[in-house]
Homo-oligomer: A and B are copies of this chain.
Amino acid sequence: MRQAGRYLPEYRSVRKKVSFLELCRSPELIAEVVRQPIERFDLDAAILFSDILTPFEPMGVKVDFPEGGPQLEFTINEPKDVKRLSDFDIEKELSFVFDGIREIKKILAGKPLIGFAGSPFTLASYLIEGQASKNFNNAKKFIYQHPKAAEEMLELLTDVVARYLEAQIDAGADVVQVFDSWGGILSNDDYLRWSARPVEKIFSQLANKKVPRILFVNNLAPYIDIVRDIDCEVVGVDYRMEISDAAKSLPGKSVQGNLDPSVLFGTTENVVRQTKRIIDSIKNPNRLIFNLGHGILPETPIEAVQALVDTVHNYR
């Protein structure tokens, strides 16, 4: 959940020298910012530094990353716009990601590396909205107004994400995670059709790679009965629901999460208490990967992160 990020002074000093896009495209700098939090906190796993929108540019959609969040050069408004999205040579066009993974692996000393991609529905939502949105109403309208074009777009994105994650595994990723950041704006029916089905297709394509597959759903609770039936090893749980309730509803799966990142702005005592509460709430420790329940925020106090990590490492 943004292990490398603006809360770290050493990350900010890298970002003073290069833009976000330059950072995402430099294998050496990717490895550098991935190393920083691992070195500082002795974290148990690393996560690739990249952006879920990275595959857009080779598909034909330039993305800019100003302070307020990503801005797409064009948006999908009508069915014919889908034709502007093109398939591409993933190994070649996104080589900086795979080279970055190889660089990271050199310095991880056996710690696992998590690769990742956005879910097809999340990527489609960005393509329709052009940016993050409060409610993604345009994306939701599009699937009702133009279901065939939406399906065509999702098929392309599903194929791209599956091959992108395969290539990450081939480059050395030990685990893969799909971020379904915006599936949580759909009705149950629509979630199954537009978000869960494409993710299932991706995970089934990755099954023979034998690496753990994590699905993070931002706002899991309404869809947990659907997620239960998705073939994957781990479900990332957002901060809204109790992680013990999630674990109960997901037999056979491990859960990852789910401390609310805003807790890190409160007292250290409360950080420690809430962290222990999550650990205590999952009886079988093999079923829990402790994590935040959403991305760490830019001004998060480092001492709070340290207290969190110390608690996870030393409790039980």
A144 and B240 form a contact (CB under 8 A): no
**Interface residue total, chain A, C-beta cutoff 8 A:** 36
Interface centre among A143, A260, A262, A293 (most CB of B within 10 A): A262
Which residues of A from 218 to 275 have beta carbons under 8 Å from B? 219, 221-223, 239-242, 260, 262-266, 270, 274
User: Complex formed: what's the CA distance from A190 to B261 in Å?
Assistant: 13
A265 and B188 form a contact (CB under 8 A): no
A240 with B132, Cβ < 8 A, contacts A137-B262, A222-B221 known: no
Would you call A140 an interface residue if the criterion is a C-beta within 8 Å of the partner chain's C-beta atoms? yes
Measured between beta carbons, the chain B residues less than 8 angstroms from A86 are none
Would you call A186 an interface residue if the criterion is a C-beta within 8 Å of the partner chain's C-beta atoms? yes
Q: How far is the CB of A193 from chain B (nearest CB, A)?
A: 12
A145 and B188 form a contact (CB under 8 A): no
User: Complex formed: what's the CA distance from A133 to B134 in Å?
Assistant: 7
User: Complex formed: what's the CA distance from A147 to B186 in Å?
Assistant: 33
Q: Which residue of B lies closest to A219 (CB)?
A: B219
Measured between beta carbons, the chain B residues less than 8 angstroms from A133 are 134
User: Complex formed: what's the CA distance from A316 to B145 in Å?
Assistant: 29
Q: How far is the CB of A168 from chain B (nearest CB, A)?
A: 27
A219 with B190, Cβ < 8 A, contacts A262-B140, A262-B141 known: no
Interface residue from B134, B137, B143, B241 paired with A132 (Cβ < 8 Å): B134
Would you call A205 an interface residue if the criterion is a C-beta within 8 Å of the partner chain's C-beta atoms? no
User: Complex formed: what's the CA distance from A287 to B148 in Å?
Assistant: 37
